[in-house]
Amino acid sequence: MTTNDSSPAGDLGPEMATIEKELERFPSAVLEKYTAAYSELENRLRPQDLLDWANHALAIAGKAVRSWEAAAEYLEASPAVQRQLPSGQFIRWAAIGGRLCEDSPSLAVSFFKASPDALTRLRPRYVDDWANLGRALYRGTWKSSNLACHFYEISPQLLESLTFAEFTRFGESLQVLSRRSYDLADECLVKAARLFPRLGEDRDAFITVSHDLAEHSWREVKSLYDSASTSLTALEPAYRARLLMIARRLIAVEQTAIGEFFAGASNAVNHVPTEFRQRLLELAEEPLASSPSSVNLLITQAPNILDRLSPSQFEEWHREGMRAIAESPESGPAFYRLESARSRESLDQLSSGVELNRVKDLLRTYCSALSARDIEVNATSTIVDKKIGWVDEQSATTEGTTIYLPPVADRFPQKDENFGWYKVIATHQSCHIEFGSFEFDFDTPSTLFEDLRPQMKPAAKVATDVSAVVAELAEAAIPGISVPEAQEEEGGIETAYLTDMGRFFDMFTDRTLGLDIFTVVEDTRLDSRILHEYRGLAASYLQTQEFSLRERPRIEGLPMREAMIEFIVRLSLRQTGSIKVPKDFTDIAQQIRRLVNMLSEIGATVEDSAEVATRIYAMIADVPNNTIPEEEFEDVDLDDDIPDEDEEENTDEILQMFGGEGESAGEETGEAAETDEQEQIDEESYDSPEDVDYRGEFKPEMAQLLSQISMDSADFDGEPEPITQEQLEELLKNSTELEQGEMEEGEEGQQQQMDEMLENLMKEMQQRDPDNQQFGDGPLVHVPEEGGPLEATEPKTFVYPEWDFRANDYKPKWCVVHEKEMAEGEPQFYQDTLNEHSALVREIHRQFELVMPEMFRKVKRLEDGEEFDLDAVIESVIDRRTGTTPSDKVFWRRNKVERDVAVAFLLDMSASTAEAIDENKRPTDDWGAPDDPVEYMVWLRSRRAEGLRRSYKRIVDIEKEGIILLTSALEQTGDMYGIYGFSGYGRENVEFYVIKEMEERWSPSIPKRVDRIAPLHATRMGPAIRHATSKLTQVDAKSRILFMISDGRPQDRGYSREGVEKEYAVHDTRVAFDEARKEGVTPFCLTVDKNGHDYLKTMMQDMSYEVLSDITMLPTRLPQLYRELTQA
């Protein structure tokens, strides 16, 4: 040991001095660092080593122009490194760095810089290997040097979480990658450093995967790192290892979208029940060999499938999938993607859940039968999406015409139980309609009670139903209350009630409480009624009630007022035995029980419910909403006989609750009580009771509002007062039925929500107005003509391609046809037409009679035929015997040409058909609709309004007359026929109105629908023809005819190129007719456009058409044409 020599350099002093001198050639930093390091090392190294060390520094510095920087780093790192390496190794380290410097000084810089940190985690013997790993990444280019440097820099970080073996393999995988792309390798390096610490024990497996992947499909590696850092890390280690193992095997069979796999699979695994996760991954390995592409799908679909199936059913389903794969490996992916019928069937069979879509039609018919009304059944999401006040997708509800049910019923293990559940909730909703929940009339007397409603006064704001109410109020004014002047400012008339329900709820100071009571009371009435009327349902209904009862919250935990409400809910669910209520209110509870019980009377009406609600409200509203100790609750015995109403009901007392509180009212609800009594200051805010699940949501006020609109406009006489936006806003503010989802904080947020809801509601009401029904299911949406293909997303919509004659090709999925049933109007027009043309009708009938009967029945009494007509023969013999001249017409023959015709009439309902047929009276505004949909509506309305006053006949009227005359004759022939109208605005809004479907039987509705044929928008013939063709091809008939009646050339917004080439529309129409012909449909076009000859020649080519020179000839000509056409 010579390290303790007094002269540190010992004998080597001169040499050291030379080195020092040499180093002066380089930038001063080198020498500074040298000196600093020297002073540290001189005592720690043997002189020889020290010399070597110094020599290395010199060598490094001199290797290349910039290598002095490497030297500086070398010197800087040396003391730290020396502490970790035995001296031999230390010099080796220097030598390795020196070699690196030969290749690239910057490599050496990074190496040295990283060394002190790296070496704390690296065994000395691996230094060489480490250096080589980095070195291997360097291939002389700038990018490669960057990568290698980066590798060194990050090494300490990597080594923190990796063993050296892992580290080596990672380095190798980087090499593989770097051969493809340095950038990619570099990115992965960075990501890896962040990822590895989070992978726990699975680093090794992951590195293997990444290595394999780099070899198989290097491009996927980046996404692997990307997704691994979010997905794998979120997974529990046990599943992670398994997933990695699967991944390796996938790579081996060239399934290389591993990043995607990890992302999807991790997410999926985390979304299946914990106890099934391991099993799922086990199952996922099964198709690895036979159908590797199914593996990912199996895992990612699992959460979906498990929504419908139990784990054991899932395995069953998977078995079926494996069987499918065994039969044909290609079928795997489709099976697991649920795209094969086999898979769906198996799923359906297994899942006990009932999907609404499968039973929707059934329930619709069922509910229509029960309620005697035309009821629609739809998923709850459809009404929630409308954003008009309904928010809960799990609760059944109705707005009076449609019953909304949750999308799946799966609360029971058996399918029929689940269907039974649907039946129960659908019946409940349907009975709201059947038993008149929404027909509440404020002024209709109840059947069981003394009516309090007429004497009640509105709570907060005295609605001024014009003068009457005001006067009444003034008269009945309780001292101290004068009719508030303020109302005058609000403008009396606007606050007239929109609905009777609203008027009723306005009587309650606390509307929420009022609604809650009314809801449970009305539901009680319904339930009793249902159990009485529908005994077949009773068993499952009672079971459902029992079920719901079990779910109720503990009554003792509720504040008193809520407890009282809960008491009623439990009563309504037929709890037996006893129910606890706050002990101060047991008398009230018994009284409530008596009232509620009265509603099980069969004749009880919704007005009775209202009266009961009123009375209960009067009893409960003053109950403080305090939580009280459990001991304060006392049982109310439900087996007791219901106490007789021993004393006269004190109606005054009840009435005091209504209007009497007017003093303090006028602020927000609920505040009134606060000012009254001090003890209520610490009262808890009142919460509505939990919904009874099978009863769903009950929104009588909204339902009345919505159904009122459709009814108002249905009776035609006199325009109904249009509902103003202000009125609606008022309703929305007051109504407690509207849950606005998560209430947004702050006034502004609420206002915004309110506005949105208001807008939606206006939209909804406009749609419900039958006068507006033509405007389709939503606002017209502009789809640019340049845009791409469209999808038929809504029911009853169809997409069709369009022919672009310039491109000489179809534009796929270009037009959306919206099919709608025509609304019903008045039958008057139909009758008038038949009367007006009675002569013509007879004529047509005779003509048809002449041709038709013999064509399809056995023809008797012929001179020649297939066989003797026995009757005729006998008659003939008898005639001979009796001496009269016998007839020789004694044969019959069956006419072989059985008439088998299906015809679709396609009526042009474009705006231009509004033109008067008499040129002089032609309205001034010609076809020139504004382009903007909003303006267009205004324009259209004005046109329609004009139409109402017209005294002249329009083209469309003539069309209607023709079709009426023809149908009356068609009924005679037994031909199958459909009547359709078309119009539209833009390719996304081709409207196709069904006046009569091909298979539909004639009914009194048909004339009413004919009445509604009216000029609408533009003429996009192509899609209408295609749609009519598809209808024709669905019926079974020997000859199929497409009979179009139009008033001019096809035109529509964008039904041209650059809006000028009229040929575009004409060509598309021609192609559409051609397609029809290929389908075996005979097209025929009848037009009343005098200029029709020019374009019809192009449009129809060799197909038949006719141009009527005199439009008034149409009713005469149409039946003739039809006869000629069908007699072929």
Partner 1 sequence: MTTTEYREYRVEEYTVAEEPFYAPLSDEIDIFTAAYQQRLPILLKGPTGVGKTRFVEYMAWKLSQPLSVVQDGTKAPASNNGESAIPLVTVACHEDMTASDLIGRYLLDADGTRWVDGPLTRAVKVGGICYLDEIVEARKDTTVIIHPLTDHRRMLTIDKLGQVVEAADGFLMVVSYNPGYQNALKDLKHSTRQRFVALEFDFPPPEVEMEIIKHEADVDSEIAEQLAKLGDKIRNLRDHGLAEGSSTRVLIYAARLIKQGVAPRRACQVAVTWGITDDEQMQRSVDEVVTTIFA
* Three-state DSSP class for residue 975: coil
Report d(CA 399, CA 927) in Å as an integer: 40
Of 187, 533, 729, 1079, the residue at the interface with partner 1 (CB under 8 A) is 533
Report d(CA 21, CA 23) in Å as an integer: 5
Q: Which is nearer to partner 1, 68 or 438 (CB)?
A: 438
Q: Which of 828, 1092, 1043 has the alpha carbon at shortest distance from 957?
A: 828
* Three-state DSSP class for residue 350: helix
Which residue carries 């199952």 as its tokens? 283
Are residues 1103 and 953 in contact, defined by beta-carbon separation less than 8 angstroms?
no
- Per-residue exposure over 946-983, b if at least 16 CB sit within 10 Å of its own CB, e if not: eeeeeeebbbbbbbbbbbbbbbbbbeebebbbbbbbbb
Minimum CB distance to partner 1, residue 344 (Å) = 20
Is residue 362 a contact point for partner 1 (CB under 8 A)? yes
Class of residue 615 by CB neighbours under 10 A (exposed 0-12, middle 13-18, buried 19+): buried
Q: Which long-range contacts (CB under 8 A, 24 or more apart) does 657-661 make?
A: 657/509, 657/617, 657/618, 657/621, 657/622, 658/452, 658/456, 658/457, 658/459, 658/507, 658/508, 658/614, 658/618, 659/456, 659/457, 659/458, 659/459, 659/478, 659/507, 660/457, 660/478, 661/459, 661/509
Minimum CB distance to partner 1, residue 712 (Å) = 22
Determine the interface stretch with partner 1 among 17-25, 360-368, 922-930, 1024-1032 (rule: CB under 8 A).
360-368
Of 39, 290, 365, 664, the residue at the interface with partner 1 (CB under 8 A) is 365
- Per-residue exposure over 543-556, b if at least 16 CB sit within 10 Å of its own CB, e if not: ebbebbbeeeeebb
Determine the interface stretch with partner 1 among 133-141, 230-238, 824-832, 1001-1009 (rule: CB under 8 A).
1001-1009
Minimum CB distance to partner 1, residue 921 (Å) = 35
Supply the DSSP symbol for 552: S
Minimum CB distance to partner 1, residue 1033 (Å) = 22
Are residues 982 and 992 in contact, defined by beta-carbon separation less than 8 angstroms?
yes
Determine the interface stretch with partner 1 among 371-379, 403-411, 543-551, 758-766 (rule: CB under 8 A).
371-379
Site for partner 1 in 126-145 (CB under 8 A): none
Q: Which is nearer to partner 1, 656 or 1034 (CB)?
A: 1034
From residue 725, alpha-carbon distances to 590, 722, 757, 761, 977 in Å are 45, 9, 12, 10, 45
Is residue 1004 a contact point for partner 1 (CB under 8 A)? yes
Of 307, 330, 361, 854, the residue at the interface with partner 1 (CB under 8 A) is 361
CA atoms within 13 A on the CB side of 596: 27
Q: Which is nearer to partner 1, 164 or 534 (CB)?
A: 534
Are residues 1069 and 1052 in contact, defined by beta-carbon separation less than 8 angstroms?
no
Q: Which is nearer to partner 1, 740 or 972 (CB)?
A: 972
Largest CA distance in the chain: 169
β-strand partners of 916? 954
Minimum CB distance to partner 1, residue 871 (Å) = 7
Determine the interface stretch with partner 1 among 174-182, 520-528, 701-709, 875-883 (rule: CB under 8 A).
875-883
Report d(CA 295, CA 287) in Å as an integer: 6
Of 1001, 1058, 1078, 1128, the residue at the interface with partner 1 (CB under 8 A) is 1001
Site for partner 1 in 713-772 (CB under 8 A): none
Minimum CB distance to partner 1, residue 541 (Å) = 10
Minimum CB distance to partner 1, residue 778 (Å) = 27
Q: Which is nearer to partner 1, 374 or 663 (CB)?
A: 374
Q: Which is nearer to partner 1, 198 or 845 (CB)?
A: 845
Are residues 705 and 498 in contact, defined by beta-carbon separation less than 8 angstroms?
yes
Minimum CB distance to partner 1, residue 544 (Å) = 14
Token output for 988: 């996304």
Determine the interface stretch with partner 1 among 490-498, 531-539, 627-635, 712-720 (rule: CB under 8 A).
531-539
Site for partner 1 in 536-565 (CB under 8 A): 536-539
- Per-residue exposure over 588-610, b if at least 16 CB sit within 10 Å of its own CB, e if not: bbbbbbebbebbeeeebbbbbbb
Of 165, 238, 289, 369, the residue at the interface with partner 1 (CB under 8 A) is 369
Minimum CB distance to partner 1, residue 968 (Å) = 6
Q: Which is nearer to partner 1, 294 or 967 (CB)?
A: 967
Q: Which is nearer to partner 1, 655 or 711 (CB)?
A: 711
Minimum CB distance to partner 1, residue 799 (Å) = 27
Kindly give, in sequence order, each residue whose CB lies less than 8 Å from that of residue 323, ignoring residues fewer than 6 positions away: none
Count the site residues for partner 1 by CB under 8 A. Answer: 37
* Phi, psi (degrees; rounded to nearest 5) at 239: -75, -30
Is residue 423 a contact point for partner 1 (CB under 8 A)? yes
Is residue 427 a contact point for partner 1 (CB under 8 A)? yes
From residue 331, alpha-carbon distances to 272, 288, 320, 342, 345 in Å are 25, 14, 11, 10, 15
Minimum CB distance to partner 1, residue 986 (Å) = 34
Q: Which is nearer to partner 1, 369 or 471 (CB)?
A: 369
Q: Which is nearer to partner 1, 1022 or 1119 (CB)?
A: 1119
Of 45, 154, 188, 370, the residue at the interface with partner 1 (CB under 8 A) is 370
* Three-state DSSP class for residue 376: strand
Minimum CB distance to partner 1, residue 875 (Å) = 8
* Three-state DSSP class for residue 805: coil
User: In terms of DSSP H, where are the helices of 253-310?
Assistant: 258-271, 274-285, 287-290, 292-308
Is residue 882 a contact point for partner 1 (CB under 8 A)? yes
DSSP β-ladder status, 1104-1107 and 1081-1087: parallel
* Three-state DSSP class for residue 76: helix
Class of residue 479 by CB neighbours under 10 A (exposed 0-12, middle 13-18, buried 19+): exposed
Q: Which is nearer to partner 1, 374 or 667 (CB)?
A: 374
Report d(CA 132, CA 207) in Å as an integer: 19
Site for partner 1 in 927-986 (CB under 8 A): 968-969, 971-972, 974
Q: Which is nearer to partner 1, 282 or 849 (CB)?
A: 849
Of 1002, 1034, 1097, 1110, the residue at the interface with partner 1 (CB under 8 A) is 1002
Token output for 916: 């008067």
Q: Which is nearer to partner 1, 841 or 1081 (CB)?
A: 841
Q: Which of 225, 236, 289, 294 has the alpha carbon at shortest distance from 266?
A: 236
Is residue 372 a contact point for partner 1 (CB under 8 A)? yes
Token output for 953: 């006949």
Site for partner 1 in 800-859 (CB under 8 A): 845
Q: Which is nearer to partner 1, 539 or 743 (CB)?
A: 539
From residue 923, alpha-carbon distances to 900, 916, 932, 957 in Å are 43, 7, 22, 15
Minimum CB distance to partner 1, residue 370 (Å) = 6
Determine the interface stretch with partner 1 among 18-26, 284-292, 598-606, 997-1005 (rule: CB under 8 A).
997-1005
Of 874, 897, 934, 938, the residue at the interface with partner 1 (CB under 8 A) is 874
Q: Which is nearer to partner 1, 882 or 924 (CB)?
A: 882
Minimum CB distance to partner 1, residue 839 (Å) = 15
Q: Which is nearer to partner 1, 53 or 848 (CB)?
A: 848
Determine the interface stretch with partner 1 among 205-213, 237-245, 574-582, 870-878 (rule: CB under 8 A).
870-878
Q: Which is nearer to partner 1, 493 or 870 (CB)?
A: 870
Residues in touch with partner 1 (CB under 8 A) = 361-362, 365-366, 368-374, 423, 427, 533-539, 845, 871, 874-875, 877-878, 881-882, 968-969, 971-972, 974, 1001-1004
